Amino acid sequence: MLYRKEGFPEEGELVMCTVTSVQYNSVFVVLDESGKSGMIHISEVSPGRIRNIRDYVVEGKKVVCKVLRIHRERGHIDLSLRRVSDGQRRRKVNQLKKEQVCEKILEFVANNLKTDLKKLYKPIFEKVSGEYEGLSDCFIDIVKEKYDIKNLGLDKKTEEMLENTIRQRIKPEMVEIKGEFSLVSYAPNGMEIVKKALQKGEEMDGDFIIRYKGAGKYTLEITAEDYKEAEDVLSKVTKPVIDYVVENEGEASFTRIDKK
């Protein structure tokens, strides 16, 4: 896979990893998206007592982990396997699958133009990475007419072939709901309470993303095949977030953002 992120991930971020070594009380992995190394302590592999760590992980296995701590001076990353919910794991895997589809599109274009795939991929990824996490969201916006493919700076032949292939192979999500959390806690550990509340929302199933906006504001974006599914996800995500903040000396609300 060509998809790569530069530098260290953020604490709390979900990362796809490949297990490289399993020891008595720890698991060593490589982060697929950056090539950096990480470690999962046995206490973060699974809840409860573990008699044999190899019952859970073996060399070569792909696992989705949560970043706990980053020691930049040592280049060391502490990870957790047990703190990743089934819903979070599915969303991460789905995200990477979408990136693989985009790479196949570029591979098709490169083969037809008789050019090197990496030479085609790199400038395109660099162009979109300032606005998007990966290629998939950009390509979907091209289909939705929300992103002008001319911004990629490609020659006309490459641009036309890429756009035609994207439109043939990528179908955008049918429904999108957006909104904004307003979260504040007056407890001494208010920031940790808000962070924990958002984690409770992120543990829910569904195709959504929560982003920090600033000054206690967090945006929520949900995509689904129909409005019934989208509304169901909206209810499941917002309730635990709001309830947890209110229960811990805070104020919380969620406001829908209507499409213009």
> Domain extents for the chain?
14-83, 87-169, 175-257
- DSSP character at residue 151: G
Nearest to 163 by CA among 144, 182, 180, 178: 144
N- to C-terminal Cα separation, the chain: 37
Q: What burial class does residue 93 get, using C-beta atoms within 10 Å of its C-beta: 0-12 exposed, 13-18 middle, 19+ buried?
A: middle
Confidence (pLDDT) at 6: 74
> Are the beta carbons of 13 and 70 closer than 8 angstroms?
no
Domain at 175-257, CATH from 3.30.499.10, 3.30.70.1130, 3.40.1670.10, 3.40.50.300: 3.30.70.1130
The string over 54-68, giving b where at least 16 C-beta atoms fall within 10 Å of a residue's C-beta and e elsewhere, is eebbeeeeebbbbbb
Confidence (pLDDT) at 236: 95
DSSP states along 167-210 = HHH----SEEEEEEEEEEE-STTHHHHHHHHHHHHHTSSSEEEE
Q: What is the pLDDT of residues 176-186, one digit of tens each?
A: 899 999 999 99
Please name the residues in contact with 62: beta carbons below 8 A apart, sequence gap of 6 or more. Answer: 16, 17, 18, 19, 32
Confidence (pLDDT) at 130: 83
Is pLDDT of 203 > 80?
Answer: yes
14-83: which CATH architecture? Beta Barrel (2.40)
pTM attached to this predicted model: 0.65
Confidence (pLDDT) at 192: 95
Confidence (pLDDT) at 256: 93
Is pLDDT of 260 > 60?
Answer: no
- DSSP character at residue 230: H
**What's the rounded mean pLDDT across residues 240-251?**
95
**What's the rounded mean pLDDT across residues 10-31?**
95
